Structure 1
Amino acid sequence: MGLDYLREKGKDTVIIVGLQTDYCIDATVKCGFEHGLKMIVPANTNSTIDNKYMTAENSYRYYNEFMWNGRYAECISFEKTLELINR
């Protein structure tokens, strides 16, 4: 399991990027949070498509600006993410 691997390596932070903000990314962010991981979502590194209820842009903003940030993840700039990686 990936969680065991991270713990064996002494890692507790995951940077998540990808597709389907409202499905795959959301589930991964919340699952990681529930397992005690620090989840980081860099700005403009996830996307989705329009659905029956919201445009892709509205979904992106909803999850990145309201749902995750300060609750399940730290949503930060891409530049700040690179700084964290290069430490």
Structure 2
Amino acid sequence: MSKALLIIDMQTMPFVWKDYGGKALYKEEKLITNTKHLIEKARKSGAPVCYIMFTEPEGSPRAENQPLWKVHEHISPLPQDLIIIKHYADSFLKSGLHDRLQAHGVDTLVMCGLQTEFCVDATVTSGYSHGYQVELVKDCHSTYDADGLTAEQIIDHHNRILIQFADVIPSDQVEFQ
């Protein structure tokens, strides 16, 4: 079994949205800390680390290579890491992700990132549909409060329903060997 770590949309914009009148990410510091530990585990074992980068059209502050598009500074990629540019919630859709993972012999995906109810959900179910064993790290994905639901409720709900497509496990139990 060969695992890869998928870090979904952990870019600058979601972390600074609160500074521009938006909402704060739920437990963002814990999200960064847990993601850093997953990256360390993956790199130590030689597992591929894949940064999935949501990208908007040119001219947008979230366009490729713009400051808000870049990976959060505390979890920056290294030259050997895979960078996957995507334009849809599903990280597999028209991104080349599946081919890149297959080239590395990956059959199991450890997933973390943003946003729980959008890109994380879509990528978990798509990964399953592409034939991968999927592990969703239950304390390493996040979102914002929404109308009628807190971020904590959204995360808990997705951790419960995504067990149809993934093993939902805490970050301290993730193994890459």
Offset from partner CA, 1:8-63 (integer Å, 9 cap, x none): 22111111111210011001101111111111112310011111232111000000
| Residue in structure 1 matched with residue 140 of structure 2 by the alignment | 45
| Residue in structure 1 matched with residue 161 of structure 2 by the alignment | 67
| Residue in structure 1 matched with residue 122 of structure 2 by the alignment | 27
Separation in 1 of the partners of 2:148 and 2:131? 31
User: Normalized against structure 2, the TM-score is what?
Assistant: 0.44
Give the one of 12, 15, 18 matched to 2:113: 18
**Consecutive unaligned residues in structure 2, runs of 5 or more:** 1-95
1:2 and 2:93 correspond: no
- How many residues end up aligned between the 2 structures? 82
1:31 maps to a residue whose letter is: S
> Matched residue of 1:44: which SS?
strand
| Residue in structure 1 matched with residue 150 of structure 2 by the alignment | 55
Judging by fraction of residues, say which structure has more helix: 1
**Consecutive unaligned residues in structure 1, runs of 5 or more:** none
1:29 maps to a residue whose letter is: V
2:125 maps to a residue whose letter is: K
> Matched residue of 1:15: which SS?
strand
Identity %: 32
User: Normalized against structure 1, the TM-score is what?
Assistant: 0.86
2:102 maps to a residue whose letter is: R
After TM superposition, where is structure 1 displaced by more than 4 Å over at least 4 residues in a row?
Answer: none
> Matched residue of 1:30: which SS?
helix
Separation in 2 of the partners of 1:53 and 1:30? 25
Greater shift after overlay, 1-10 or 55-64?
Answer: 1-10
